[in-house]
Amino acid sequence: MPNPSGTTQDLRFQADEAPSYPVSFGLAFQYILLNIAGIVITVAIVVRAGGGSELYLTWAAFAALIVCGITTLIQAKPIGGRIGAGYILLMGTSGVFIAVSVAALQRGGPALLATLIVASSLFQFLISSRLSLLRRFITPTVAGTVIMLIAVTVMPIGFDLSFLAPEGAPRGAAPLTALATMAVTVVIVLRARGALRLWGAVIGAVVGCLTAAGFGIYNMEIVGEALWFGVPAAGWPGFDFGLGPEFWAMLPAFIFVTLVGAIETIGDGMAIQRVSWRKRRATDFRAVQGAVAADGVGNLLSGIFATVPNTTYSNSVSIVDITGIAARRVGVCIGLIFIALAFFPKAAAVLLAIPDPVVGAYIVVLIAILFVLGLEMVAQDGIDYRKATIIGVSFWIGAGFQSGQIPAEYFGWAGPLLENGMTSGGLTAILLSTFMELSGPRRRRIETELDVEAQPKIQAFIDAFAGRAKLSEETAHRVSLAAEETLLVLLEQIAEDDALGQRRLRVTARAEAGGAELEFLAAAGEGNIEDRMAFVGTHAAEVPVEQDFSLRLLRHVATSVRHQKYHDTDIVSVKVEGEAG
C-alpha cells in the first residue's frame, strides 16, 4: 500500500520484473473473473435495448472479448513505444457508451453504430497526440476527481449485486454470501503476507461460491449448456457508408462520450504508475499518452468488429495495490486468456456462473481502495482553497446526478449522458479548471533556442516580468534564480541525449499571489527532474556532483517543481511563492 515515504510497501514485482508464469496466469484469472461478466453483460444490454438480433449479440460478445484481449496486450506491451502504457491496464467494454450506442442501434442498426465508433475513435488519437496542450485543463486534480467519481458510479452496482439472488432463494442467501466473500478477502488483504496475499481474491471468491452452493444459489446450468469450442458463423453487419443525417446527428454525442472515456483513461494511466513501482516516481505522461492511444486502438477495433467500444477498467489499479504484483507479464497473460475465452464459450461460462453476490462483494472492496487512490492523486501537490472548491463541487455534482438528486431530465438531450456521475462530475471539474486558467493573470512568454546563449534573454524577460507584476526585490531575485537553474538542468539533460539536434524553448511566466509560476516547454532527454530532485534530496549528506548543484539550488528557491514528460515535449513548471507565502 502507498505510504507517505514515497515507497510502495510489499510490492513483490514492479512493472519491469517478471513473476513465474503460474503466478502470472493465476493473477490474470483474478482480473478476468471480476470483469468478464461486466464485459459481456454490457454488450447484451446495448444490443437488446437497441433492438439487435440474437445473431448479432453472439457476434458482438465474441468480438468484444477479442478486442479486450488485444488491447490489454497492447497496454502491457506497447507498440512502437507510443501505443500502450506499459502497465497492467485491463480493457473492457465501456459503460459510458451504453446510451449513445443504444440510440445508434435504434436509429440505424449495427452498421451505423460501427461507422460512428470508427469515426469517433480518431478523436481519441488526436487527444493522445496533443495531450500536452490539454495539461492545464485535464490536471491531476481533474483526473483524481474522475477516479473518485468512478467509485460513486460503480459502488451502487457492487451493492446491488451483493443482495441479488435467484427467485425462491432463502432470504439471507445473497447478503450472507457477499459477507463471507468480503470478510475473507479483507482479512487476507489486511493480515496476510507473501504468496497468500496474492490469492486473497481467489480464496474469497471460492469461499463465497461454497457459501452460495450451500444456499442453493450457485447455478451451473449455464456451464452445461455452453459449447466447448465455437466461432460465430455470421453476425458482422459491415459499415454504413451513406453518412446520412443520422450519422451527423449522432457523431457529436459519440465524440463527447469519447472525451469522457479518455479522461477516465488519463486518470487510470496516472494512477497505475503510483502503485507499480517500489520507489514512487513522477508521473510519466508518455505512458499516459500511450494508454489513451491504446484506448483509441480499442475503439477503432470495436468499430471495425461492430461491437461496443472499450476503455480501461479502473479496478486494475486496485488489484495491483492489493496483490503487490505490477509486472507487465500479468497484463500479457490477461490479454491471451481473453482471446482464448472468445473461442471457448464453456470456459467463459465457468466464470460467468460465479454468483452475483460474490462478484458484488469483491467490487465493493476494489472500488473502496480505488476511491482512496483518487484522493491521493488530487492531494499529491497539496490542496488549497481553489483545488478544494473544484474537487468538492465537481464530486458532489457528480454524486447528485448519479443518485438522481439532480434530475437529469431537466437537461434535455444531454440528460442521459449527465446522469452518469463520472461524466457530469468530470465535465464540471474540467469547466472549473478551464475557468481558473482563463480568468487568471495573463501569461507572458518568450521563445528562444534551447542553449546556453538563451540565459541573458531569459534573464531580461524575467526582469521585465517582475517589474510588470510588481514583485518584491527578494521574490524577483528568487524567480530569477529559479529560471536560471531550470535552464541549466534542461541543458544538462539534452547534453546527455543530442539525437534530436537543436531544440526550441518557450518560457512563460504568470504572477500568482505575490509570487510567480514559470513554465519551460522544450524537447529534452530521458530523465525526470522531479525524480532527480527527490534523489538529491535524500542524499544531502553526500558530496554533490556538479550536475546536482542546480537541482539542489532549484529545490531551495522554488516552492514546487513539476516535470511533465510527453513524447517530444518536456514541460517544467516552477512555482516561487511571494514573501507573504
Distance (Å, rounded) from C-alpha 363 to C-alpha 30? 12
Q: Annotate 125-162 with three-state secondary structure.
A: HHHHHCHHHHCCCCCHHHHHHHHHHHHHHHHHHHHHHH
Alpha-carbon separation of residue 570 from 84, 252, 285, 519 (angstroms): 19, 32, 10, 10
Chain Cα centroid distance, residue 569: 21
Give me the pLDDT at residue 527, please.
Answer: 54
In the chain, the amino acid numbered 96 is V
Distance (Å, rounded) from C-alpha 308 to C-alpha 95? 9
The answer to whether the CB of 381 falls within 8 A of the CB of 201 is no
Q: In what helix (H) or strand (E) does residue 447 lie, and over which residues does it extend?
A: strand 444-449
Give me the pLDDT at residue 332, please.
Answer: 92
Give me the pLDDT at residue 439, please.
Answer: 79
Chain Cα centroid distance, residue 393: 21
Classify 561 as helix, strand or coil.
strand
The answer to whether the CB of 436 falls within 8 A of the CB of 454 is no
Using alpha carbons only, give the angle 395, 396, 402 rounded to the nearest 5 degrees: 95
Give me the pLDDT at residue 495, please.
Answer: 61
Which fold is adopted by the domain 440-576?
Heat Shock Protein 90 (3.30.565)
The answer to whether the CB of 96 falls within 8 A of the CB of 257 is yes
Give me the pLDDT at residue 542, please.
Answer: 35
Give me the pLDDT at residue 549, please.
Answer: 46
Taking phi over 0 as left and psi of -120 to 50 as alpha, with beta for the rest, 243 belongs to left
- Ranges of beta strands (E only) in 232-386 are 310-312
Place of cell 544531502: 540
Distance (Å, rounded) from C-alpha 477 to C-alpha 311? 48
- C-alpha torsion sign, points 36, 39, 45, 47: negative
Residue 519 φ/ψ, nearest 5 degrees = -135, 125
Instruction: Output the pTM of the full model.
Output: 0.68
Give me the pLDDT at residue 99, please.
Answer: 64
Residues of the chain predicted below pLDDT 70: 1-10, 34, 37-38, 41, 45, 48-49, 54, 95, 99, 193-201, 222-226, 232-235, 253, 347-353, 381, 417, 494-502, 523-555, 579-581
Distance (Å, rounded) from C-alpha 77 to C-alpha 327? 11
Going from N- to C-terminal start, the domains of the chain cover 21-148+217-356, 383-438, 440-576
Give me the pLDDT at residue 216, please.
Answer: 80
Q: Annotate 385-401 with three-state secondary structure.
A: HHHHHHHHHHHHHHHHH
In 3D, which of 175, 174, 158 has the Cα closest to residue 166? 174
Distance (Å, rounded) from C-alpha 294 to C-alpha 73? 10
In 3D, which of 341, 329, 291 has the Cα closest to residue 311? 291
Give me the pLDDT at residue 231, please.
Answer: 74
